């Protein structure tokens, strides 16, 4: 193949590759510049709390925050983590069905599919401390919990029968002749303002911008296909640099 034909094809390839990968080369340049000077652009201090970003990094969002209604205390459930009035209480791996907090005697009850957990708490300087915890088997298929509005007696309910917790933590059928006004506690999706506050307590301000930019730069943010495209773009940049050098030296020789 003649030299001038080869040069012509090389120029065409240079033009088409440059046009095809120009966006990705610019993308790599900008993200690389940000990563080179993270403190200058403050990307090491900025955090992103966008719900899409949080889910992308397997963090909890608004739809993962639940609140216990009908209670003067803020009782929050984030996945398996329980919070009371801004204080972390415990993680429970079982499926949580209901929660009850009796602040008069600082007892907290957690009903799950398999157990009923009872926490003895202590308040110190506005914080809650666990003094003791024990559990009883949920042998009665308890699915909800509440309390008598008048006596604060804890009531546990299955599909058709209500129970009270007697001494030695034994569940007994509630006396059907006794008239009680039961306030059942329901776990509902928390309001966004509450969710935002407890998500910050639970997992901080969000995802650090430096981490996001790093994964944008290497392509992992969008997946393996985009990573491959950026890899090819990097190779094309090497070719564009070398071909530009060849063209420049040829022009210099022609002028000479």
Task: Please tell me the predicted confidence (pLDDT) of residue 256.
Answer: 47
Tell me, yes or no, whether 212 and 246 share the same domain: yes
- Partnered with residue 83 across adjacent β-strands are 76, 88
CA distance 206 to 224: 24
Helix %, strand %, coil % of the chain (to 5): 40, 30, 30
Tell me, yes or no, whether 178 and 231 share the same domain: no
Task: Please tell me the predicted confidence (pLDDT) of residue 78.
Answer: 93
Does residue 168 contact residue 201 with C-beta atoms inside 8 Å?
Answer: no
Tell me, yes or no, whether 188 and 217 share the same domain: no
Show the low-confidence residues of the chain (pLDDT under 70): 1-5, 70-71, 175-179, 250-256
The predicted-structure confidence for 200-224, as pLDDT tens digits, reads as follows 999 988 899 999 999 999 998 988 8
Does residue 124 contact residue 111 with C-beta atoms inside 8 Å?
Answer: no
Tell me, yes or no, whether 77 and 190 share the same domain: yes
Structural domain count, the chain: 2
Q: What are phi and psi of 155, to 5 degrees?
A: -120, 130
The predicted-structure confidence for 77-91, as pLDDT tens digits, reads as follows 998 899 998 899 999
User: Chain centroid to CA 195: how far?
Assistant: 12
Tell me, yes or no, whether 75 and 196 share the same domain: yes
Whole domain around residue 213: which residue ranges?
3-49+207-250
Examine residue 188 and state whether it is found in any structural domain, yes or no. yes
Examine residue 29 and state whether it is found in any structural domain, yes or no. yes
Tell me, yes or no, whether 81 and 199 share the same domain: yes
HSE (CB half, 13 Å, CA atoms) of 113?
Answer: 3
Tell me, yes or no, whether 37 and 158 share the same domain: no
Cα angle vertex 57, ends 53, 59, to 5°?
90
Tell me, yes or no, whether 169 and 227 share the same domain: no
Tell me, yes or no, whether 96 and 220 share the same domain: no
Tell me, yes or no, whether 67 and 183 share the same domain: yes
- Partnered with residue 122 across adjacent β-strands are 129
Examine residue 55 and state whether it is found in any structural domain, yes or no. no
Q: Which of 165, 184, 203 is the last residue of a domain?
A: 203
Tell me, yes or no, whether 155 and 227 share the same domain: no
Examine residue 178 and state whether it is found in any structural domain, yes or no. yes
């Amino acid at each position: 193949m003649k030299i001038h034909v080869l040069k012509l094809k090389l120029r065409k390839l240079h033009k088409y590759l440059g046009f095809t990968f120009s966006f990705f080369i610019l993308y790599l340049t900008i993200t690389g510049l940000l990563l080179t000077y993270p403190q200058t652009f403050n990307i090491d201090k900025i955090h992103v709390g966008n719900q899409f970003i949080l889910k992308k990094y397997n963090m909890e969002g608004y739809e993962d925050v639940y609140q216990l209604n009908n209670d003067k205390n803020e009782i929050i459930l984030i996945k398996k983590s329980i919070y009371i009035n801004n204080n972390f209480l415990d993680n429970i791996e079982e499926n949580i069905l209901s929660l009850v907090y009796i602040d008069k005697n600082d007892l907290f009850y957690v009903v799950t599919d398999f157990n009923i957990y009872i926490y003895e708490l202590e308040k110190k300087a506005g914080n809650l401390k666990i003094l003791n915890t024990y559990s009883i088997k949920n042998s009665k298929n308890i699915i909800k919990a509440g309390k008598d509005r008048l006596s604060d007696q804890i009531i546990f309910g299955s599909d058709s029968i209500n129970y009270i917790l007697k001494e030695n933590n034994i569940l007994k059928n509630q006396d059907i002749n006794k008239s009680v006004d039961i306030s059942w506690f329901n776990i509902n999706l928390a309001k966004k303002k509450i969710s935002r506050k407890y998500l910050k307590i639970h997992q901080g301000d969000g995802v650090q911008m430096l981490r996001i930019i790093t994964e944008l730069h290497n392509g992992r943010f969008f997946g393996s296909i985009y990573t491959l495209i950026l890899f090819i773009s990097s190779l094309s940049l090497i070719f564009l640099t070398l071909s530009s050098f060849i063209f420049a030296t040829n022009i210099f020789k022609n002028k000479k």
